[in-house]
Amino acid sequence: MELLYQSASSRPDDVALVYRDERVTHAELLDRAERLAAGLAAEGIGPGDAVALLLPNDPTFVAGYYAISGLGGVVVPVNPAFKQDELEFYFRECDVRAVISDDRGAGVCERIVAGWDEPAQVIATSAAHGQALTVDMLMQAEPAKLDKRSAEEPVVYMFSSGSTGRPKRVARTHGQVRGESEYYAWMGIAPEDKIFCTIPLFHTYGMGCCMLAATRTAATLVMLEDPNPFLLRRQRALELLEAEGVTIYPGVPFNFRLMAEAPASADLSSVRLAFSAGTALPRPFFDAFLDKFGVPVRQLYGCTEAGTLTANLDEDPVATFASVGQPVEGVEVLIEDEDGRIVPPLTVGEIAVKSPGLTSGYSDMEELNRQAFRDGFFLSGDLGQLDEEGRLTITGRKKLLIEVGGYKVDPIEVEDVVVAHPKVAEAVVVGVETKVQGEELIKAVVVPNDELDERDLIGFCQQRLANFKVPQVVEFREEIPKSPLGKILRKYLI
C-alpha cells in the first residue's frame, strides 16, 4: 500500500490502469483500495487474515491487493482456472478468512466454505448469481488512510513448484516485496512508461514485473482483458500494444511466437523493452519476433521465492540472446558445485541467489528449508553459468537430471536434439522410473508437425547423441501440458 500512496501522491492525475474502456488514475486507484479496505474491515478482516483473490487481470485485482495489504492482511492470489479440489487445497493451506471472486468462481467458493466450522466470507464482483456480499457493497464505505505496515509482516502467500510436485507455500513480507519493487526503478522504468500485462497477476512474474513495477514507478499498466487462450487474443494484444504506445512488455515465449505468427502485423516501435521469462526462449521465437516487429526480446530470470533476479539489459541483446542478464541491483548470484563450492566463470553448477526480495523459507517445511536455504542464499535447483562479465545463462534444471547407467543426463540437452528434427513441433524429455533402483528410462514426449514414427526419431537422435542419452521411449501427443505461463507440467508426463 505504501507504493500506491507514493504513486498517488507524485502522479495523482496520471493514468495508473487501462482496462477495456476504463482508465483509472493513481488517485482513483488509491480511493478504490481505501474504500475496499474499509469495507473489508467492517466485515471483520484485519491484520494477519488471509484473503484470496480469485480474479482475472482487472482493476479489482489490483485494488484488492492493495486493500488487503494495507489492512495488514495477507493476499492469496489464486488461478481462476482451478477446479474445486485445487481451490480448497489453497484455501485450507492458507486458512483464508475471505475470498474475493469473479462471478464464475463465487458459487464454487461458497460450496467449498459451506462445510467449514468457521466459513470464510465469499465476496463476489457482482450479485449476478445472488451472492449476498459484493465488491460494490464494500466500496460504499468511506475511505480512510491506512497505516504503514511493518517490514516483517507477511503480505502475500504464493505457491511454488506446481510443475514437479505438490505446491509449496511461500510467505513474502512487506519488506521483501518492497525490496523487489526497487529493482524495477533500477531497471529504468519511469512514470512515462506503459507496461503491457498479459501475464496472470496471480503469478509472481505478473505481480512483480507488471503490477508492482507499474505502481513503484508510477507508470501505466495496460491490461489485456481475458488473455487466455492467447491464440484467440493475439490480434487484440497487437492492437493494444500499438494503440496505447506500450513501451515495456513482459511476456512468455508462446506470447512472442504467436504474435510473430499472427496474420496481421502492428507498429511496435514504441516498445523499448520486451522481456521473456517462465521458460527458456527458443532462438526461432526470438528471430521471428525480431524479424516481424524489429523488437529484440530480452530474457530475465526470477522465481516465486524471490521475484525478479536478473535481466538482460545489454546494449546488444541479439549477441547475448541466450543470457538472462546480470543480477539486478542488490541481488547476488553464485554458481556452486555439488559440494557447495563456488565454481569459476563459464562452469555449470547450481544457481544460488541472495536478494532483498527473498522469502525466509517455505511454510511448515523445515527439512526442505534446510536443503534449499543456506547462509542467506536460496539454492534454486536451476543449473547455469556466469560469464566473465557476470551474465547468467540457464543451462538446465538440477532436479530434472535423469539417471541412466551411472550417468546424469540433462533432459534439456536431449530436447534440443529432438526438436531439431524437422517433423517435431515441440518436445519434452523426462525420466521414467524402472524396476532397477536409481535407474530411469529416457522418454521423449513429442508433438509432431508431420507424419513421424518412433524409429525415425530415435535414429535421428542416435546420430547426434551418445547412446546413453538417446530416448528409449517416444510418446506422441497433440499438445504438451503447461501452466498459464507456459511452464511445462512435467508431472503429467511421467
What per-residue confidence (pLDDT) applies to 62?
A: 99
Going by C-beta distance under 8 Å and a sequence separation of 6 or more, which residues neighbour residue 135? 36, 60, 64, 100, 123, 124, 125, 126
What per-residue confidence (pLDDT) applies to 436?
A: 63
Tell me the average pLDDT across 463-468.
87
Residue 422 preceded by cis peptide, ω within 30 = no
HEC profile of 287-331: HHHHHHHCCCEEEEEEECCCEEEEECCCCCCCCCCCCCEEECCCC
Tell me the average pLDDT across 142-150.
93
Report the DSSP beta bridge partners of residue 96: 50
Residue 396 has pLDDT above 90, yes or no: no
What does the alpha-carbon distance between residue 424 and residue 163 come to, in Å, rounded to a whole number?
23
What per-residue confidence (pLDDT) applies to 306?
A: 95
Residue 17 cell numbers, joined: 490502469
What per-residue confidence (pLDDT) applies to 100?
A: 98
Percent of the chain with pLDDT over 90: 81
What does the alpha-carbon distance between residue 182 and residue 357 come to, in Å, rounded to a whole number?
10
Residue 129 has pLDDT above 80, yes or no: no
Going by C-beta distance under 8 Å and a sequence separation of 6 or more, which residues neighbour residue 223? 17, 18, 19, 57, 58, 59, 197
Under the banding of pLDDT at 50, 70 and 90, the label for residue 466 is: confident
Give the residue, 354 or 395, on which the prediction is more confident: 354
What does the alpha-carbon distance between residue 177 and residue 274 come to, in Å, rounded to a whole number?
23
What per-residue confidence (pLDDT) applies to 435?
A: 74
Residue 85 has pLDDT above 90, yes or no: no
Residue 439: is it exposed, middle or buried by C-beta count within 10 angstroms (0-12/13-18/19+)? middle
What per-residue confidence (pLDDT) applies to 406?
A: 65
Q: What is the mean pLDDT of the chain?
A: 94
What per-residue confidence (pLDDT) applies to 202?
A: 94
**Angle of CA points 194, 271, 61, to nearest 5°:** 35
Q: What's the distance, Cα to Cα, between the start and end of the chain in Å?
A: 43
The structural domains of the chain, ordered by start, are 2-149 (3.40.50.980), 401-492 (3.30.300.30)
Percent of the chain with pLDDT over 70: 98
Q: In what order do the strands lie in the sheet with 424-433?
A: 424-433, 440-448, 473-476
Tell me the average pLDDT across 290-318.
97
DSSP state of 459: H
Name the pTM for this structure: 0.86
Q: Are strands 307-311 and 326-327 parallel, antiparallel or unpaired?
A: antiparallel
Report the DSSP beta bridge partners of residue 351: 335
What per-residue confidence (pLDDT) applies to 438?
A: 59
Under the banding of pLDDT at 50, 70 and 90, the label for residue 424 is: very high
162-175 pLDDT, tens digit per residue, is 444 568 999 999 99
233-281 pLDDT, tens digit per residue, is 999 999 999 999 999 999 998 899 999 999 999 999 999 999 999 888 9
